[in-house]
A and B are shown apart, each in its own frame.
Chain A
Amino acid sequence: MNTPVRTARARTSRLRRISGTASVHAVLLGYTLIAVFPVFLVMMNSFKDRRGIFGEPLSLPHAGTFSLEGYATVLSEGSFATYFGNSLIVTVASLFLILFLGAAAAHALAEYRFRFNALLKIYMIVGIMVPIRLGTVAILKLMVDLNLVNTLLALILVYTAQGLPVAVFILTEFMRTLSRDIKDCARIDGLSEYRIFLEVVLPLIRPVLATVAVFSMIPIWNDLWFPLILASSDATKTVTLGVQQFIGQFTVNWGAVLAALSIAILPVLGLYALFSRQLIAGITSGAVKG
């Protein structure tokens, strides 16, 4: 019997594997730094005084430079509590409508055979390709006619219309994969079609609803266009618009600008920390493979 030996061939291929792994990490780590550093830089400097911001922008705040004066200015000058409240109301209400109405429509499209089913589905999802902003001129006219300008309801309705196509598309695709048996079983158990939707289908699609929620939430929370056009009054400003206008006024007060940016970033990062697993699982589950 020959004793197996580690040949030169085996050694080089092992070396190649290790250096390959190292370069993969070098690229990924390098780009991760590029992606995160600017955000980190802003948040770090928001805790410094003016001298610290300009004198040593790249070092962490320390006793000599630490200051919350930026945050003090933001809290006294801007009505960020109101803006947050507005953003929260608009985002939550829109999300609820998108998910609930979208799921109901998707359920009807996936579950029942009726005339124009296919046509209606195309009608609903064509909105994915056509950005709602192109209708802004008429949306503003419509809101003026409906007396909804400078109300949060205007934003909620527009964002719902904007979010429905993607929601209907993803949910219909997913609902088609649901077992027909379980709905039939509920029918035999005597549930009405409404209760089948509420008590059987909705619990089954919860994970996908979460994905659609995170997806739809980002553009709503971050939007500048519609708040600027439909609801720019002080009482209805959202965070994004509020930050934009606040910074416009306080361009010379860097501490305040950095603090305002950080205040706008933090909740998003917090939510992301909570839901990133769901968001990424949703994206990678093929729900958006088109």
Chain B
Amino acid sequence: MTQTATDSAAPAALRRRRKRAGRLHIVVFLAPAVLIYTIFSVYPLAESLRLSLYDGLEDGSAVWIGLGNYATLLFDPDWARQFWNAFSNNLVLFFVHMVVQNPLGLLLAALLSLAPRFGGAYRTLIFVPTLLSVVIVGFIWELILSPLWGVAETLLGAVGLAGLYQPWLGLESSALVTVSLISVWQYVGIPMMLIYAALIAIPDELIDAARVDGLSGFAIFWKVKLPLILPTLGIVAILTYIGNFTASFDLIYSIQGALGAPNFSTDVMGTLLFRTFFGQQLQLGDVHMGATVASMLFFIILVGVTIYLALVQRRLQRYEM
């Protein structure tokens, strides 16, 4: 910028020292967050992807083997059995959440959005399990369902169903579904809250208009509210998907151990990763196979997110409200 002779006075020179500062502050604001995030989140992920392409030698060095580890994971009979078992268990887990947790969350949110008396209290209490550590939740249910304590049996007896009781967590046939339902119990608060937030964001005028147009309460929900909250349901679905592949570790490790007892019937990708990486019993820990399992998980999540972004989110139009 040009300076002319008019501003040669001393005060002006003084002032110029306090000129607009450079753009250094932008760097100062951003650098710490970007650095910590890069070093402890982005870099490890990239490094895991890289490690999955190597194999360790006995002398501690590593050799590049391309997609060899992935071939092992997918086609070596021993690995493939474990991988596909864990993967399909994750799918079951996901399925149970989608058909039980999210519809239940939707129902509770829909009822809460009618603003019943004590609505705030219901909402607060239903959210309690979500706050607890998965470890604690796991143990609570382990105790309740334990045949030793007999609480579950007593409770079923109170409604005349004592005959139905089985030690569900210990049976290969029911362990996985039981664990899934425990997880549903814990996390239903999240879809409930998200959907509730979306529902109360719908302007009252719109509902009033529908009522004047003669729609019943049920029809209003079905034809007016539901279409408007579809984007939120999409978000709930993708959050369920991601959580299912990673967060399920804590619960299963706590209740059933790293082997996904009984007999791997509750083994999921998270426990498989943990076992592969750290070793268990006779099996030695393997950094490179561990990185491979983690990378497979990364790709599985990437596929889910891509499908969500490409298909679901584009279709589910967001309405201005």
In the complex, what distance in Å separates the CA atom of A36 from the CA atom of B185? 10
- Chain A, residues 227-259, CB within 8 Å of chain B (1/0): the string is 001000000000010011001000000100110
- Answer whether residue A142 sits at the interface, using C-beta atoms and an 8 A cutoff: yes
Which one of A4-12, A130-138, A177-185 is at the B interface? A130-138
Interface residues of B in 190-214 (CB under 8 A from A): 193-194, 196-198, 200-201
**Interface window among A60-68, A71-79, A105-113, A205-213:** A105-113
Given contacts A130-B301, A135-B47, A137-B51, contact A97 B114 (CB under 8 A): no
Is the Cβ of B30 less than 8 Å from the Cβ of A104?
yes
Q: Mark B28-59, 1 if CB is under 8 A from A, else 0.
A: 11101110110111111111100100000000
* Among listed B75-83, B128-136, B162-170, interface-contacting one: B128-136
Interface residues of A in 269-290 (CB under 8 A from B): 269, 272, 276, 280, 283-286, 288-290
Query: How many residues of A are counted as interface, with CB atoms below 8 angstroms from the partner's CB atoms?
Result: 88
Q: Are A244 and B135 in contact (CB under 8 A)?
A: yes
The distance from the CB of B310 to the nearest CB of chain A, in whole angstroms, is 14
The answer to whether B294 touches A127 (Cβ under 8 A) is no
Whether B151 contacts A41 by the Cβ 8 Å rule is yes
Contact with A along B283-297 (1 / 0, CB 8 A): 000010011001101
Q: Is A222 an interface residue (CB 8 A)?
A: yes
With known contacts A27-B111, A35-B125, A134-B246, A261–B45 Cβ distance under 8 A: no
Establish whether residues A284 and B197, one from each chain, have CB atoms under 8 Å apart when the complex forms: yes
Chain A's nearest CB lies how many Å from the CB of B109?
10
The answer to the question of A102 belonging to the interface, with a C-beta cut-off of 8 Å to chain B, is yes
Cβ–Cβ < 8 Å partners of B131 in chain A: 218, 222, 268-269, 272
- The answer to the question of B314 belonging to the interface, with a C-beta cut-off of 8 Å to chain A, is no
Task: Tally A-B pairs: CB < 8 A.
Answer: 267
A197 interface hit (Cβ, 8 Å): yes
Q: Does B67 contact A (CB under 8 A)?
A: no
1/0 per residue A11-36: CB within 8 Å of B?
00000000011001101110110111
Number of interface residues of B (CB under 8 A): 96
Task: State which residues 263-283 of B face A: CB under 8 Å.
Answer: 270, 273, 277-278
Q: Are A108 and B136 in contact (CB under 8 A)?
A: no
Least distance between A52 CB and chain B CB atoms (Å): 12
Interface centre among A28, A112, A160 (most CB of B within 10 A): A28
| Closest chain B CB from A6 CB (angstroms) | 21
Also in contact, A161 and B40, with CB within 8 A (given A57-B151, A138-B45, A284-B200): yes
Measured CB to CB, the residues of A under 8 A from B are: 20-21, 24-25, 27-29, 31-32, 34-36, 38-39, 41-42, 53-54, 57-58, 97, 101-102, 104-105, 107-109, 112, 114, 120, 123-124, 127, 129-139, 141-142, 157-158, 160-162, 164-165, 168, 192-194, 197, 218, 221-225, 229, 240, 243-244, 247, 254, 257-258, 261, 264-265, 268-269, 272, 276, 280, 283-286, 288-290
> Shortest 5 CB-CB distances between A and B: which pairs?
A135-B44, A138-B47, A222-B133, A161-B40, A138-B44
Pairs A–B under 8 Å by Cβ, sample size 14: A38-B141, A42-B143, A104-B32, A105-B30, A105-B32, A114-B23, A132-B44, A137-B294, A138-B47, A164-B36, A218-B130, A280-B120, A280-B124, A284-B200
